[in-house]
Chain A
Amino acid sequence: MKIGVVTFPGTLDDRDAARAVRIAGATVVPLWHADENLHKVDAVVLPGGFSYGDYLRCGAIAAQAPVTQAIVKAANGGLPVLGICNGFQVLVESHLLPGGLIRNEAQHFICRDQKLRVENVDSAWTNAFELNQEITIPLKNGEGGYIADAETLKRLEGEGLVAFRYLDGNPNGSVNDIAGLRNERGNVVGLMPHPEHAVEAGFGPDTASAMRSGIDGLKFFESVLKAVVNA
């Protein structure tokens, strides 16, 4: 099973995403921003960072890259795609997911361990969770405030497309405490918090049992393995 991990100039969490893929048991295929094909991968992760400096709007320049064009096409054909943080922003700028992401309400970057509720488990990246499971993974962003117009919000809520919601405090002013979305088909998921930073004990969020032992993020990658095998 091969999972592509995309690197744009300015991508930062690509090595972390690759590590997560490996720990979950899949093979990593590095994808470069200039790649026009996806090298037959079974799924793609768009990792976090500041692609092209995140200038203009986060993810806007990356949305124009050749590899993104290829991903959009493949995603419309059902390829599982996970966008994390900047990757979520790229998905939104490519219109694979609706709405937009703007500057945090507090006007500054925020990095903390964030509790989330998994609100939908019918997607390629969430099927290993239990419905309404509470998880903790790191959050780190400067522009993570999710916005959408009233109609879009109604549709998202009505069709169960909100995949994750912030618990114990909304860190960035996102409407309806939205932390992540899935598309109708369930192959595309985007979220601001970082599952790839919670896959290895010793380097994740604190838990009640030990410092930095949280590995709730691993389930994202286990989900896609299941999804691809079952597909």
Chain B
Amino acid sequence: MSELTTPESGPMASGVDTTTVAAATPDKHQPWKELGLKQDEYDRIKDILGRRPTSAELAMYSVMWSEHCSYKSSKIYLRQFGEKVTDEMKTHLMVGMGENAGVVDIGEGWAVTFKVESHNHPSYIEPFQGAATGVGGIVRDILTMGARPIAVMDQLRFGAVENPDTARVVHGVVSGISFYGNCLGLPNIGGETVFDKVYQGNPLVNALSVGALRHKDLKLAKASNPGDLVILFGARTGADGIGGVSVLASETFDSTGPSRRPAVQVGDPFAEKVLIECCLELYAADVVAGIQDLGGAGLSCATSELASNGNAGMRVQLKDVLKRDESLTPEEILMSESQERMMAIVPPKDLKAFKAIVDKWEVEYSVLGEVIDEPRLYINWGDEEIVNVPPRTVAHDGPVYERPVAYPNWIDALNANSVVAAGLARANDNATELAAQLVQVVTSPNQASKSWITDQYDHYVGGNTALAMPDDSGMVRVSEESGLGVAIATDANGRYGQLDPYAGAQLALAEAYRNVATSGAAPLAVTNCLNFGSPENPEVMWQFKQATAGLADGCLALGIPVTGGNVSFYNQTGDVAIHPTPVVGVLGVIDDVARRVPAGWQDEGHNIYLLGITRDELDGSVWSEVIHDHLGGKPPVVDLAGEKALGDLLHGASLQGLLASAHDLSEAGLAQAIVESTLRFGVGARIWITEIMERDGVDATAALFSESTGRVLVSVGREDDVKFVGLCEARGIPVLRIGVTDGRGPDAQLAIKDIADFNLADLRAQYQSTIPDLFG
């Protein structure tokens, strides 16, 4: 009987691989290996089903058990984000990890949901569509929670500026994000852009979205009431990105690069914008009992997750899926990653109201089936049963690996090769050279103005943007009545991560926390996107273990919980992994965005204060990279208690209206902070650094370029001086007056005593031209 109906393998040209056929042909060869499954995983599927899987079931399991969907290598480490928390940290948490995105209570009946996700591999293959659909995907995650998406951000890592392939990726990625985000009408309020040769074959394209909702509008991705209808709506299903999840995201690509070009997805932001408005109207009408976006793994994921989350089952007729292309096989329909689709669970009594709303928006839909009492997912192709599985085994009980971990021996030598040990020359006594280094550092590609990129993003749409590029964090108003709003900053420094992944993750967290605090908001919650090499490499796994421990411990110390995140493994070319790049996003809340603190000097005659202590911490710094092309030593010391105290001070001072401006110190230290503060509004200043050198016992190079943490530059009006300094002293925050602001105008200057006087117009021209000269 076996040779009668089934072809050898792959999609069925004629005849369908039904559950009956599968039971009768136990020994048929199946392409599980090509689909990315391991022998033991395939055997487990057979165990679960008591027979070999049908080709449709195999498609589902392979894609859902891929690293990207199942988190099989990272799961055991991600748990600690839920475990290392106090009850107090949970007080604002309405939905924690595990859902499409975490939800945080921000008061006044409002909640926000935010998450960052990677679209790295697709963005290397097809930068424009890869980045565009990355934005589309994360926005649907936010929408799924019942929220109106209100802003996006993008965290980008590109290869070296001088590599000829970098321009291709930069142009494609930036225009893809610009195209999709702008067409959706979501303000882009910030992000990161870093160039480093370690990302040459593995650019990182992470996208973040934040949404706002009233508490009562919270939606969950579950199907729990038998009889409810399963409805697929939005774009039609086509051949886009078939197998994308397992092939694109789970396998390291070989070095042959773009010649091996798998199917990509094409995004239609217009369709998504319509889908957003349509979904929000559906929510308002209260006609959906559960909702899930279709992202990676398409229908396989949506059906199994909805059923599994609801502890129920589902009966689905696959022939009823609206298709763009009638030749799609059932397996392809299950795997398709066509964009701009959603799945809703709708009580039958609400179908009419549902239909009226989707018709108004000219959104197509089809009823695929219904929720059933039994915890089983049945999918039919016409009369034939092609899937009959327990949904939990697909969606949640996938494999979990405790992969081998090995301490990388090379790290000792790397840590030993500090800036001091390597004897890197300093220009302490040569003012001319020091001034030249300052310009070289702040105009280097990673430090120079990113306005060529950010000017391609709409940051006005919505009319609620209170802060955006180039400020320390992005801030949007949530309530037009009260001014209640949220601030978000994201950070990651791969160089620190390479030197010490535990500290690297904490440094990213500390910086994002500080950026939110400088803007006047109170940090409340954390998201992350962990970008690493291959988990099959024990040294990478060690880096991952360290980074997740660092982040979890750090969040506990700061008292803010991780609400969700994303893991991207296999970011490597051949054997060479990227630097560990844990992107950490911190969200803060502000009672009235009118109170936000600018990141630049605005007025003449204000005093400039440096908060915090400067140590000789130049290992891994921008200075060591730009001036000496060096990476070695240990990253700056992390002091989370100090960060918290500093954050509390900033919050207190901003509540009292004492801060005319505040800007955090991070990459390239004080030098970068003063240049950015002066160029922000074109206000000059006179700065002296000798008192820092004396008080902290550091030389001029360290005073200018050290990347010691826990430092912020603030400006304070004369009338608030005494009060402000008193506040710092009372709270034990080191405070030192290092300058005073001057006026604006064509002759405005940044005068750094004993080093140089910089004309602002000239400095601005250099700071602004680096990126356009490379990519414009």
Q: Tell me if chains A and B make direct contact, with any CB pair below 8 A.
A: yes
A203 in contact with B178 given A10-B274, A52-B270, A208-B744 (CB within 8 Å)? no
Residues of chain A contacted by B461 (CB below 8 angstroms): 12-13, 16, 48, 140
A182 at the interface (CB under 8 A from B): no
A77 to B268: give the CA distance in the assembly, Å: 38
Which of B270, B457, B593 gathers the greatest number of chain A CB atoms within 10 Å? B270
Residues of chain B contacted by A16 (CB below 8 angstroms): 460-463
A142 at the interface (CB under 8 A from B): yes
Q: Which residue of A lies closest to B594 (CB)?
A: A202
8 residue pairs of the A-B complex, CB under 8 angstroms, read A9-B362, A10-B270, A106-B776, A109-B178, A109-B458, A111-B455, A111-B456, A210-B602
Q: Is the CB of A15 within 8 A of B362?
A: no
Which residues in A have some Cβ–Cβ distance to B below 8 Å?
Answer: 9-10, 12-13, 15-16, 19, 48-50, 52-55, 106, 108-112, 138, 140, 142, 194, 196-197, 200, 202-203, 206, 208, 210-212
Other A-B contacts than A203-B466, A211-B681, 7 sampled, CB-CB below 8 A, are A50-B269, A50-B273, A53-B271, A110-B455, A203-B477, A210-B602, A212-B466
A12 to B269: give the CA distance in the assembly, Å: 12
Of the candidates A10, A138, A211, the one whose C-beta lies within 8 Å of that of B460 is: A138
Binary CB contact string for chain B from 362 to 376 against chain A (1 if under 8 A, 0 otherwise): 100000000000000
A48 to B464: give the CA distance in the assembly, Å: 16
B166 at the interface (CB under 8 A from A): no
State which residues 586-645 of B face A: CB under 8 Å: 593-594, 598, 602
Closest 5 CB pairs of A and B: A53-B270, A12-B185, A16-B463, A197-B460, A50-B183
A197 in contact with B456 given A49-B185, A52-B270 (CB within 8 Å)? no
Residues of chain A contacted by B68 (CB below 8 angstroms): none
Residues of chain A contacted by B277 (CB below 8 angstroms): 9
Residues of chain A contacted by B401 (CB below 8 angstroms): none
Residues of chain A contacted by B81 (CB below 8 angstroms): none
State which residues 259-273 of B face A: CB under 8 Å: 268-271, 273
A183 to B269: give the CA distance in the assembly, Å: 33
Q: Is the CB of B681 within 8 A of A206?
A: yes
If over half of A's interface residues share one DSSP class (helix, strand or loop), that class is named, otherwise mixed; here it is: loop
Residues of chain A contacted by B361 (CB below 8 angstroms): 9
Q: Is the CB of A53 within 8 A of B456?
A: no
Binary CB contact string for chain B from 451 to 494 against chain A (1 if under 8 A, 0 otherwise): 00001111111111110000000000100100000000000000
Q: Is the CB of A110 within 8 A of B185?
A: no
Q: Which residue of A lies closest to B476 (CB)?
A: A203
A206 to B465: give the CA distance in the assembly, Å: 13
Residues of chain B contacted by A10 (CB below 8 angstroms): 183, 270, 273-274
Instruction: Write the nearest CB–CB distance from B765 to chain A, whole angstroms.
Output: 14
Q: Is the CB of A203 within 8 A of B598?
A: no
Q: Is the CB of B175 within 8 A of A108?
A: yes
Residues of chain B contacted by A142 (CB below 8 angstroms): 182
A203 to B465: give the CA distance in the assembly, Å: 6
Residues of chain B contacted by A202 (CB below 8 angstroms): 466, 593-594
A196 to B457: give the CA distance in the assembly, Å: 18
Binary CB contact string for chain B from 355 to 393 against chain A (1 if under 8 A, 0 otherwise): 000000110000000000000000000000000000000
Instruction: Write the nearest CB–CB distance from A24 to chain B, whole angstroms.
Output: 14
Q: Is the CB of B182 within 8 A of A109?
A: yes
Residues of chain B contacted by A50 (CB below 8 angstroms): 182-183, 269-270, 273
A212 to B288: give the CA distance in the assembly, Å: 40
A139 to B362: give the CA distance in the assembly, Å: 31
Residues of chain A contacted by B455 (CB below 8 angstroms): 110-112
A106 to B274: give the CA distance in the assembly, Å: 29
Which residues in B have some Cβ–Cβ distance to A below 8 Å?
Answer: 174-175, 178-179, 182-185, 268-271, 273-274, 277, 361-362, 455-466, 477, 480, 593-594, 598, 602, 681, 744, 776
A55 in contact with B270 given A16-B461, A210-B602 (CB within 8 Å)? yes
Q: Is the CB of B269 within 8 A of A53?
A: yes
Instruction: Write the nearest CB–CB distance from B597 to chain A, whole angstroms.
Output: 10
Q: Which residue of B lies closest to A16 (CB)?
A: B463
Q: Is the CB of B274 within 8 A of A140?
A: no
A49 to B464: give the CA distance in the assembly, Å: 16
A108 to B454: give the CA distance in the assembly, Å: 12
Q: Is the CB of B456 within 8 A of A109?
A: yes
Residues of chain A contacted by B456 (CB below 8 angstroms): 108-111
Q: Is the CB of A12 within 8 A of B273?
A: yes
A85 to B34: give the CA distance in the assembly, Å: 50
A13 to B456: give the CA distance in the assembly, Å: 17
Of the candidates A12, A108, A138, A206, the one whose C-beta lies within 8 Å of that of B178 is: A108
Residues of chain B contacted by A111 (CB below 8 angstroms): 455-460
A109 to B460: give the CA distance in the assembly, Å: 13
Q: Is the CB of B744 within 8 A of A9?
A: no
Q: Which residue of B lies closest to A194 (CB)?
A: B460
Q: Which residue of A lies closest to B183 (CB)?
A: A50
A196 in contact with B681 given A53-B269, A110-B455 (CB within 8 Å)? no
A15 to B185: give the CA distance in the assembly, Å: 11
A106 to B464: give the CA distance in the assembly, Å: 28
Instruction: Write the nearest CB–CB distance from B428 to chain A, whole angstroms.
Output: 36
Instruction: Write the nearest CB–CB distance from B161 to chain A, whole angstroms.
Output: 19
Residues of chain A contacted by B594 (CB below 8 angstroms): 202
Residues of chain B contacted by A52 (CB below 8 angstroms): 270
A109 in contact with B179 given A10-B274, A12-B461, A55-B270 (CB within 8 Å)? yes
Residues of chain B contacted by A138 (CB below 8 angstroms): 460
A182 to B477: give the CA distance in the assembly, Å: 34
A37 to B214: give the CA distance in the assembly, Å: 34
A13 in contact with B185 given A111-B457, A197-B463, A211-B598 (CB within 8 Å)? yes
Residues of chain B contacted by A54 (CB below 8 angstroms): 183, 270
A9 to B175: give the CA distance in the assembly, Å: 22
A222 to B461: give the CA distance in the assembly, Å: 22
Q: Which residue of A lies closest to B179 (CB)?
A: A109
Instruction: Write the nearest CB–CB distance from B35 to chain A, whole angstroms.
Output: 35
Q: Which residue of A lies closest to B270 (CB)?
A: A53
A108 to B457: give the CA distance in the assembly, Å: 10
Which of A10, A15, A110 gathers the greatest number of chain B CB atoms within 10 Å? A10
Residues of chain A contacted by B459 (CB below 8 angstroms): 111
Instruction: Write the nearest CB–CB distance from B195 to chain A, whole angstroms.
Output: 19
Residues of chain B contacted by A112 (CB below 8 angstroms): 455
A140 to B480: give the CA distance in the assembly, Å: 23
Q: Which residue of B lies closest to A18 (CB)?
A: B463
Residues of chain B contacted by A197 (CB below 8 angstroms): 460, 463
A9 to B463: give the CA distance in the assembly, Å: 19
A61 to B340: give the CA distance in the assembly, Å: 21
Instruction: Write the nearest CB–CB distance from A140 to chain B, whole angstroms.
Output: 5
Q: Is the CB of B602 within 8 A of A15?
A: no
Q: Is the CB of B744 within 8 A of A53?
A: no
A9 to B174: give the CA distance in the assembly, Å: 25
Q: Is the CB of A53 within 8 A of B598?
A: no
A206 to B744: give the CA distance in the assembly, Å: 14
Q: Is the CB of A140 within 8 A of B460?
A: yes
Of the candidates B268, B593, B776, the one whose C-beta lies within 8 Å of that of A53 is: B268
A212 to B175: give the CA distance in the assembly, Å: 26
A203 to B182: give the CA distance in the assembly, Å: 18
A110 to B464: give the CA distance in the assembly, Å: 19
Residues of chain B contacted by A211 (CB below 8 angstroms): 598, 602, 681
A203 in contact with B183 given A53-B269, A109-B178, A110-B456 (CB within 8 Å)? no
Instruction: Write the nearest CB–CB distance from A141 to chain B, whole angstroms.
Output: 9
Q: Is the CB of A203 within 8 A of B463?
A: yes
A53 to B271: give the CA distance in the assembly, Å: 8
Which of A9, A110, A111, A196 gathers the greatest number of chain B CB atoms within 10 Å? A111
A109 to B183: give the CA distance in the assembly, Å: 11
A55 to B744: give the CA distance in the assembly, Å: 44
A111 to B776: give the CA distance in the assembly, Å: 15
Q: Which residue of B lies closest to A51 (CB)?
A: B270
Residues of chain A contacted by B268 (CB below 8 angstroms): 53
A197 to B174: give the CA distance in the assembly, Å: 24
A15 in contact with B269 given A9-B362, A202-B594, A211-B681 (CB within 8 Å)? no
A48 to B461: give the CA distance in the assembly, Å: 9
A203 in contact with B464 given A53-B183, A140-B458, A210-B602 (CB within 8 Å)? yes
